Amino acid sequence: NIWLRDFIIRPIKICGVFSGSWTQNTELLPTVEGNTVLVRCQYDPSQRFKEKAWCQETREKNCKLLVSSLSTDAQQSKFSIWDYPDYQFFTVTMTALTVRDSGPYFCGVAENRRTIFILRNIYLKVSKDCSLWSLTAPTPPTASWRTTSLNQPSISSLRRVSISSIVVLVVCGLFIKTLVFTVLFTMKPHDSDL
């Protein structure tokens, strides 16, 4: 895919990420080595057919594209995206996490070949074991979709929720995924000549 290759090689402008500060609604996602994390990213109906992206934020505040797709699903080694355009969200899964995976990530929608509209900022903190991280994390943003501006930085304080809230969100996401696949399978026309 020439477009995707071009998309990966060129630096991509990040809308709403500012040097030296937590961006608005950055969420801490603590986990331990070997675990899998799932992140749900809600988008506006107008972005339904646009490229979805999962990026690791670089020191230069650019996107290191990890996985992206216009199709309903895409997988690359430890990263995968599953898009649910009828419901205006996609999920990103990262598997076999290590301490080296710790850092800032974001999911977004490619507005053009050089700009990604950020939907959700995540700071992934991978530890060797559970005793090394706090049992609290910031709450997800109250709005599932937001507009950001490059010239109006906003720093927010981190709000806290229990780890069980994160687990509930992950389980709900997996349940929704299973439900969608069940519905899609039952709606598939079956050959009655067999």
Q: What is the CATH number of the domain that holds 83?
A: 2.60.40.10
Give me 149's structure tokens: 């501006």
As a whole number, mean pLDDT of residues 9-19 equals: 36
- pLDDT, greater one: 153 or 44: 44
Say yes or no to pLDDT of 109 above 50: yes
Of 46-50, 106-110, 135-139, 162-166, the poorest mean pLDDT is in 135-139
| Percent of the chain clearing pLDDT 70 (strictly above) | 58
DSSP H or E stretch at residue 39: strand 37-42
- Average pLDDT over the chain reads 70
Residue 194 included in any domain: no
| pLDDT recorded at residue 24 | 58
* Residue 17, helix vs strand vs coil: coil
- Is the pLDDT at 135 greater than 80, yes or no? no
33 lies in some domain: yes
> What is the C-alpha separation between 13 and 53, in angstroms, rounded?
13
Q: Is the pLDDT of residue 122 over 80?
A: yes
Residue 111 forms part of a structural domain: yes
Residue 110's beta-bridge partner residues? 116
Q: What is the number of structural domains in the chain? A: 1
Q: Cα dist. 47→17, 42, 86 in Å?
A: 20, 10, 11
Evaluate whether residue 193 is within a structural domain. Answer: no
Range of the domain at 44: 2-144+152-187
pLDDT beyond 70 at 26: yes
Note whether residue 46 is domain-resident: yes
Q: In this structure, how many other beta carbons lie within 10 angstroms of the beta carbon of residue 141?
A: 18
pLDDT at residue number 87? 95
DSSP β-bridge partners for residue 75 = 80
| Per-residue pLDDT at 75 | 67
pLDDT higher than 60, residue 175: yes
Residue 49: inside a domain, yes or no? yes
Q: Does the residue 192 lie in any domain? A: no
In a domain, residue 112? The reply is yes
